[in-house]
Chains A and B, each alone.
Chain A
């Protein structure tokens, strides 16, 4: 099935550093979503993007919907230890309700 290419696969950073991760696809999506998942828990929605070029912030998080509608990135500024987790991008096809996930970016933050 279709997959999104998410990178990097993992990151190990110092507390206070900024983080950037991105997703690319070979096809167009109507909506891009970014989720964070802690071990043993379900994914929590961080940011939803609905329009090409849209730039949206949620606290220290900023995400953009690419102009071509085939990519998106997520930035985390001034990372803190509780940012640790797995971040998933997901493209949503509104006509089917199917959510296509990236492979995830595992973030570790050193205090």
Chain B
């Protein structure tokens, strides 16, 4: 099983809403990632969790709040987003220092 599962597939939210993106993997990977991707651009790293601890935060605004409840799950809590935050949000996982496997993403639209 090399699958990273993300829900929901699509999300539309207003600027005052609070929502969460979810990611799950059962490959025993101990590193999990959140990326943001704009159309026709490469993914941009947001956060890295290693052994359930936040190891990298790429200066992401506090309206994005990651959470790693256990080694298989990764959440991204969203609050007071801006229209420019509309993008494809990708979750990925890997063994430490190894190739990354990506989920199919959540297409987020902020109105």
Task: List A residues at the B interface (Cβ < 8 Å).
Answer: 30-31, 33, 35, 40-45, 48, 86, 88, 92, 94-99, 101-104, 106
Given A31-B99, A97-B50, A97-B97, A43 and B43 contact (CB-CB distance below 8 Å): yes
Which residue of chain A is the closest to B49 with respect to CB atoms?
Answer: A97
Q: Interface extent on B, as a size class?
A: 20 to 34
The DSSP consensus for interface residues of chain B is strand
Stretch at the interface among B13-21, B68-76, B77-85, B103-111: B103-111
Tell me the minimal C-beta distance from A3 to chain B in angstroms.
9
Q: A33-B100, A42-B105, A45-B99 are known; give 14 further A-B pairs, CB within 8 A.
A: A30-B97, A31-B98, A42-B90, A43-B43, A45-B100, A48-B99, A88-B42, A92-B97, A95-B97, A97-B50, A98-B45, A99-B100, A101-B42, A103-B41
Task: List B residues at the A interface (Cβ < 8 Å).
Answer: 4, 6, 31, 33, 40-43, 45, 48, 50, 55-56, 88, 90, 92, 94, 96-105, 107
> Which residue, of B43, B103, B104, B105, has the highest number of chain A Cβ atoms within 10 A?
B43
- Chain B residue contacts of A92, Cβ below 8 A: 97-100
Can you give 26 contacting A-B residue pairs, CB < 8 Å? A33-B99, A33-B100, A35-B102, A40-B88, A40-B107, A41-B104, A42-B88, A42-B104, A42-B105, A43-B102, A44-B102, A45-B99, A48-B99, A86-B40, A92-B100, A94-B98, A95-B97, A96-B56, A97-B94, A97-B96, A97-B97, A98-B48, A102-B42, A103-B41, A104-B41, A106-B40
Of A31, A35, A40, A45, the residue contacting B105 (CB under 8 A) is: A40
- Chain A residue contacts of B88, Cβ below 8 A: 40, 42
- Chain B residue contacts of A42, Cβ below 8 A: 4, 6, 88, 90, 92, 102-105
The DSSP consensus for interface residues of chain A is strand
Tell me the minimal C-beta distance from B2 to chain A in angstroms.
8
- Chain B residue contacts of A43, Cβ below 8 A: 43, 90, 102
- State the CA gap A60–B33 with chains docked (Å): 30
Which residue of chain B is the closest to A9 with respect to CB atoms?
Answer: B40
